[in-house]
Structure 1
Amino acid sequence: MKHFEVNFDGLVGPTHNYAGLSFGNVASLSNARSVSSPRSAAKQGLEKMKALHDMGLVQGVLAPQERPDIYALRRIGFHGSDAEVLAKAAKQAPAIFQACCSASSMWTANAATVSPSADTADGRVHFTPANLTNKFHRSLEPTTTGRILKAMFNNNRYFTHHHHLPDNEHFGDEGAANHTRFCKEYGYAGVEMFVYGRYAFDGSKPAPTQYPARQTYEASEAVARLHGLSDESTVFIQQNPAVIDQGVFHNDVIAVGNKNVLFYHQEAFLHTEQKLAELQEKFDAPMYFIEVPTAQVPVAEAVKTYLFNTQLISLPNGEMTIIAPTECRDSDIVSRYLEELVSKNTPIQSVQYFDVKQSMRNGGGPACLRLRVALNDQELDAVNPACIMNDALFARLNQWVDKHYREELSSDDLADPQLLIESRSALDELTQIMKLGSVYPFQQD
């Protein structure tokens, strides 16, 4: 039996814009009100997907959400035709309106937490959509995310889908951005590391003071229970509150892992030595802990370049490589560190740079753009094949983007009723291309 780690990248939506919605995300706030390019953003994402496919990896595509979210605006009291709802909301509650136009579902590392069949009690792949309660604009996503995941992984013999956790910050869950799985090979039982920012039911424990800790210990523990994971296969580590207050809003901004490698910053965790010793003991095979010292790469530079919001992947020939944004290459500090890293005797042997600037300016690097799903060949055969990247799908999705996406979009454009029509037309065609069925609310009216 063969085994794969499949990256399902988020397809950037037609309303990709810079509204600066994410408090605690330095890049998002610093680029607020800039003019975006939805077409360029979508094409940059597709180029990265196609490049990984061309490297011999199995690459998937995850559809975006419907935006503007007319249904959310109606729920909070805006009435009339769709055009009237848009106009009223944009005038009377501009901040709420912009939140309902967010294209942040492109960052599918926040879509869900996934546990492969080798780890779970029932031997099936488990999915729990993240509730994303900390940010209103993202809390609108989980129901549609769940529908899309069920349309992609639609065989009950192999896949189990859970409802997202309670919609309350006590169970704030940000998905795979705070979850890393270690294994000898993708088909082997592994150890799943859950990173949390705070305890929701114990205010005496350490917590950040400036920016919110979005992931709670209680949420991480709940997901592990839902997925049927054993105590021997899980490790819970608290993120350092001090780095959260420096703009590290998810663990994948300060650490990344793959197979037997954890690549992390010196300041990433609390009780680092103790927790990594627990991880090593439970892994039961040699691990590589690659710590980046603050003296070499300050936290601010790591956040600015997204050194850790990179993909750490294993190529078919066994080589491990880092998929990094070009911002890492353009930083003297970070590029120097990476040149030194690949010359050392570790599994990481190369770095490849990709231009994802449209995503980076909104606060998401290569790791944010993908959800990792470990599958065996039978499970992969059960995945909706129209969601798996190949040459034909790449060409068709590029044509689809050219047909439906605007070249430029400002915050003021979001109230244009024509944008809603364009977005729905695009998504309706996309569900046919990807054979998803009626996953969007406008398709169910």
Structure 2
Amino acid sequence: MTDLTQAEVRARIERRLASRHRKEKLFRGLGIGSIAFGVLAVLILFTDIIGKGSDAFVQTAIELQISYDPAVLGIDTVDDASLAAANFTGVIRQSLRQRFPEVTGRSDRRELYRLVSTGAPFTLRDRLQADPELLGQTERVWLAADDDVDTYVKSLAESREGFRGRTSDRMADWIAQLRDSGELKKRFNTTFFTNGDSREPEQAGIRAALMGSLLTLLVTLALSFPIGVAAAIYLEEYAPKNRWTDLIEVNINNLAAVPSIVFGLLGLAIFINFFELPRSAPLVGGLVLTLMTLPTIIISSRASLKSVPPSIREAAMGMGASRMQVVFHHVLPLAMPGMLTGAIIGMAQALGETAPLLMIGMVAFIVDVPHSITDPATVLPVQIFLWADSPERAFVERTSAAIMVLLGFLILMNASAVLLRKKLERRW
């Protein structure tokens, strides 16, 4: 009877162990499946972005024989006033007519002129301004093609017909002639990195948005890091533990979870409506992002201060150091790696924000590159938002390419935070 009871107990234990092992395997499988699904989703996202955005780093260009004829340009000398009034468009059209002499009809010529970007005259103006000796001379120049031509040429690699869009059969024949003669090529798109925004996709670039992001982040870093570190030091090292400090800590933790658009509304009400600071300026954008990143920096800084062993404080005070000397000479240097990591993560979060900046007017169409924190500017996430809403097909690849640049900066900042922490962190 006793042996039978022991067998039943053993059988029950084995059944329970088997059930527990099945549940553990199921849970482990769910975890692995979740990770695999997340990795797959990220790979699909990156593949889609890179596939669409890689073409933006190359631009179709057409080589033309340009004659800087003073009669066509309507100028005799090269100076700022003459260049502003010069007829560079006529020079380009003359070159196209010479390249395709068989095109005679007015409608056909208007279509022929569409081969070249509307920004090509500015390229010739810059060349003539850099070298006034070109006036009256002839040279071969690579000029950017129109966005419809660029889209069609790039799509030819995917299919034999390509995406025509607004490209007619005659334009397709002209493009084929230029390509066969080596006068049409895809070149590295420097315009994407040197120009500001534009209504024409082939002239649009991210330089103004990059400078706007840089100036905005400089303002954010200059304000949020010292204020956040000072607040963390006071709350962790000096503030008495009572209801008021508990209330402050709860509010700081809650502010870290507040939607970012709320900070945009706060900045609109205080900095623009009350203090009347300029709209769409990196100064206001930096102030708004400072409010948004302060909770993150304060929380990470307090965690870094807590990680310093109490023996460091006790040893310093035992040697006769004052409270301030203990904090600034011993505790703060040891906690600084964690504080810097939190600051970099906060800056990465600020770099990718769009909603609060839309509320303060940084959605403006900005062509000129900002040079100060009070100049009108936009930032890279807002630039992506604007391009994503544009109807032209060529803006799709520009949008994806800008996302690639933004992701590159975010990955670089997060990697810097990890490396900095590993390099400076001390283990006790």
Q: TM-score range by the shorter chain?
A: under 0.3
Structure with greater strand percent: 1
Which TM-score applies when normalising by structure 2?
Answer: 0.19
- The structure that is helix-richer by fraction is 2
TM-score of the superposed pair, with normalisation by structure 1: 0.19
Q: Which has the larger radius of gyration?
A: 2
**More RCO (CA 8 Å, sep 6+):** 1
